[in-house]
Structure 1
Amino acid sequence: MQPGNGDWLVGSPTGLELAAALWLGSVGLLILGLQPVLLGALYTEGHVSGDELALVATAEMVAIAIGSAVVAMLLSARNMRWKSAVLLVLLAIANVWTAHALSPGMLITARAAAGLAEGGLVAIATELIARSRRAERIGGYFVTMQTLAQCALALLAALYVIPAAGSAGGFNLLAIVCVASLVVAWIVPDEYADLPKEENFANVLTVASMTALSCVFCYFMFFGAVWAFLEPIGGQFGIDGRTVGLIVSTSLAVQVMGAMTATLFEARIDYRIAITAIGVVAMVSSLVLASGPGLTAFWVAALVMGFILLFIVPYQIRLAITADETRTAVLLVPAAQLFGLAVGPIAASLLIDGKDFRPVPEFAAASAVASVALLGLFILATRRRGATA
């Protein structure tokens, strides 16, 4: 990559090179859309119990977060084609390993290994996004592409692959996507030009950066808590599992709409207003679920949550850029999001009393409030930083 042009701080990737990098990141996050289908198949086939299923899901989420942070922070942005190819091969192997795993322990280990490779692929995309002058807009393209891919693959797996070949077929399908994507790996820029200032951990260990990343973490903790327990929450209020499954499937399409809408409007709305408004909507939606809603209210609350999930992402990217102009903090936004998705269900589960799942959406509402409160602290920190400067 050569010195930057008007659209890039450094470098000047072509549209095809950018699309290739975003696709590789999307491959790393395909599991987010497929987890309910694939893990549900593992549970139905008797490979894991309910508790073991949660451990498999959590292990992979945490590993993706760790993988994205490690690759973004510790490895240089050189030889990206080879790194992309190696990560795709490792992920393909982990998916095939999962398909043949016979015990819960092996499944947890295989999905944790897959998560590390998936996180590395996410970093391939976020490293390039961080170098754009319009990182928020490209972040919107990224979440749109990944969600469309998740929708298509979830539909293929649920309707054709899993009925014919079981959960093993679903994981083998992911492996095939990885191998096919090796062609794309040779399109990404081989080197990402260095950002104007050196990337290092010190840029993240500031009040502004830590508050911004904590704001992101709490927001995704809200969503992770509700989504993991949506079926038992619905069941408590007389909504059957099949209907909840339809709501989850519909939500994926609504998430695409949210991502596309954010891409169109990200430049017209101040990130502080957007994050605050979305936090309020998240709180209200969670309280609706805690209030014993009827079927219509349950549908509306769940779909609203699906819409705002990805709508907020471009604004969170802007938040991280404002916190750290060297853009090191931006590289850790996916890690903060994924840690939130992983911690939310675990934290909420500690509040469940028998078969009463009301504390889960109540916890989610508190997480949304915490996210908005942290935004307020961030605004105060940045004002103080500006006054000091």
Structure 2
Amino acid sequence: MVDSAGEGLPASAWICGHPRPGQVAAVLWTGSVGLLILGLQPILLGALFADQRMTFDELALAATLEMVAIAAGSVVMALVLAPDRLRPKATTLLLVLALLGHLTATASSPELLIGLRTLAGLAEGGLVAIATELIARSTRPERLGGIFLTLQTGAQCVLAAVLALAVIPAFGSAGGFEALALLTIASLAAVPFLPGHYEAIPESLQANAGIGGPMALLSLAVIFTFYLFIGALWAFLEPLGQASALTAQTVGLIAAVALAVQVAGAFTATLVERRLDYRVAVALSIAGALLAACLFAAVPNAALFWFAALLTGYVWLFVVPYQIRMTIVADPSRRTALLVPAGQLLGAAIGPIGATLLTSGRGVSAVPLFGIGCLLVSLVLLLAFCLLDARRRPAGTSVIRQDEGNSA
């Protein structure tokens, strides 16, 4: 996986290659830069709205298109472009992303802003794919995925606090995007530590490729429908809070605390990944999300609203490492695992649109009902996945057991 000799992580930690710890850290940070915007959108886009540079509808369109573009960029980078020349590719993506951040700060029209954020999403998706490619080559993808999530969400928390408390009050939305561009430029310092290329997945695993098979499609559908709920719920969190007699300031505080809880969810997944079966973890996450959706549907008091929102934040990232494992079980070639970010982002982007169609004329109370429906579908799809896995287990468990044995 690397083109230079040196002491690295134990070879058994990888199905191919032997990256050094410093290279792993550089890869995970580079991928995290591509996802920083997901935690900062409420602050940065809210600042654009406060500066009267965009209307609410234009903000919603910009946020949706950027998430869809991140998904598209990650797919193109992971499945179309070869996993070589990582340093030049990362350098190009970081420079383009920084330039688009600067242009966003100075853009004069909503249409230009929307276009710039869409292009930024493509670059961000490419950075995400660099990290996803590495995670897919680990024999313990749940653990490395959990570390990746903890790193990116922790960075989102710190940067969100700096932007909200210092940068945006002094310099407005332009200052916020310029700060993000400067951080992107600073992240070029990680590029020399990246591996030069990733080694190819072993042919023995490629022979079992099932990226277009029913197991792979079911695993992605489970992920997509779960994040339909996440996207819909989070987009309508403030009006749901108003229905429960909470102020906008209180809902904003809940969203900020929920971001920290997401870090806890990702960290917990990292700690327990070897002791918790992926099927149990995914099922428990769906059940937790169902409980939260039912509480929101009941128009809860303040305490229960806090609980439901924080529970949603917890399962949001706790489930991700186990979703990665599910896709690897479905497709041992691990190409389906590279599509996990795309499935999540598409679900999160489309969820608000689906909820909006349902709420037309019915009010925000229909949003939790939409979420409940999506989660029930996700649970049924998970059951179908498990049944198919049980039928093919004699042919499919050897690869997974080999991975687990290597990581022991």
Q: TM-score, normalised by structure 2?
A: 0.92
Compare 185-194 and 353-362 and name the one that shifted more.
353-362
**Alpha-carbon distance between aligned partners in 1 of 2:297 and 2:325, rounded to the nearest angstrom:** 32
% identical aligned pairs: 49
Q: Distance in 2 between matches of 1:293 and 1:236?
A: 9
One-letter amino acid matched to 1:283 = L
Q: How far apart, CA to CA, are the structure 2 residues paired with 1:230 and 1:64? A: 23
Aligned pairs for 1:308-387 (under 5 A) are 308-354=315-361, 356-386=363-393
The structural deviation recorded for 1:384 is 2.9
Alignment match, 1:15:
21
**Which amino acid letter does the alignment assign opposite residue 367 of structure 1?**
C
- How far apart, CA to CA, are the structure 2 residues paired with 1:206 and 1:145? 33
Look up the match of 1:132: 138
3-state SS of 2:358 partner: coil
- Letter in structure 2 aligned against 1:193: E
> Which range moves more in the overlay, 112-121 or 346-355?
346-355
DSSP 3-state at the match of 2:11: coil
Q: Residue type matched to 1:124 in 2?
A: I
Matched, 1:97 2:82: no
Q: CA deviation at 1:50?
A: 1.3
Q: Does 1:32 align with 2:38?
A: yes
- Residues 1:162 and 2:134 aligned together: no
Q: In structure 2, what is the equivalent of residue 49 of structure 1? A: 55
Structure-2 separation of matches of 1:136 and 1:298: 30
- 1:190 partner SS: coil
Instruction: Specify the alignment match of 2:302 in structure 1.
Output: 295
Q: Which residue of 1 aligns with 2:156?
A: 150
Higher mean alpha-carbon deviation, 367-376 vs 105-114, is at: 367-376
Equivalent pair of 1:200/1:328 in contact (CA under 8 Å)? no
Pick one of 252, 255, 258 that aligns with 1:248. 255
1:272 Cα offset (Å): 0.7
Q: CA deviation at 1:101?
A: 1.4
Q: Which ranges of structure 1 fall in alignment gaps of 5 or more residues?
A: none
Shift of 1:266: 1.1
Read off the aligned partner of 2:53 and give its amino acid letter.
H
Per-residue CA deviation, residues 75-107 of structure 1 (Å, 9 max, x unaligned), is 011110110000000100111111111211111
Deviation digits for residues 292-323 of structure 1 (CA, Å, limit 9, x no counterpart): 11111101100111111111111101101100
| Rounded Cα–Cα distance in structure 1 between residues aligned with 2:384 and 2:226 | 15
Comparing 1-10 and 300-309, the one that deviates more:
1-10
Shift of 1:195: 0.6
For residues 225 and 309 of structure 1, the distance between their equivalents in structure 2, rounded to whole angstroms, comes to 13
The 3 A distance-change label for structure 1 pair 201 and 336 is farther
| TM-score when normalising by structure 1 | 0.97
Helix, strand or coil: the match of 2:15?
Answer: coil
Contact 1:237 1:293 in 2 (8 A): yes
- 1:97-139 CA distance string (max 9 Å, x none): 1111121111110000000000000001000111111111000
Measured at CA, do residues 387 and 17 of structure 1 come closer, stay the same or move farther in structure 2, by a change above 3 Å?
A: closer
CA shift at 1:373, angstroms? Answer: 1.1
Aligned to 2:405: none
Partner SS, residue 239 of structure 1: coil
Q: Where in structure 2 are there 5+ consecutive unaligned residues?
A: 4-9, 397-408
Stretches of 4+ aligned residues off by more than 6 angstroms: 198-202
- 1: CA distance between counterparts of 2:178 and 2:200? 37
Task: State yes or no: 1:204 paired with 2:206.
Answer: no
State the Cα deviation string for residues 321-380 of structure 1 (Å, max 9, x = none): 100001001100011011111011111111113472011111111111111111111112
| Distance change in 2, residues 1:151/1:105 (3 Å) | same
- The answer to whether the 8 Å contact 2:285/2:319 transfers is yes
Cα 1:103–1:189 change in 2 (3 A) is same
Residue in 1 aligned with 2:286? Answer: 279
SS in 2 for 1:69: helix
> Which residue is 1:5 aligned to?
11
1:109 to 115, 126, 149: 115
Contact 1:73 1:201 in 2 (8 A): no
Distance apart, 1:2 and its partner CA: 5.7
Report how many residues are paired.
389
Measure the CA separation in 1 of the matches of 2:21 and 2:214: 36
When the two chains are superposed, the root-mean-square deviation of aligned CA atoms in Å is 1.7
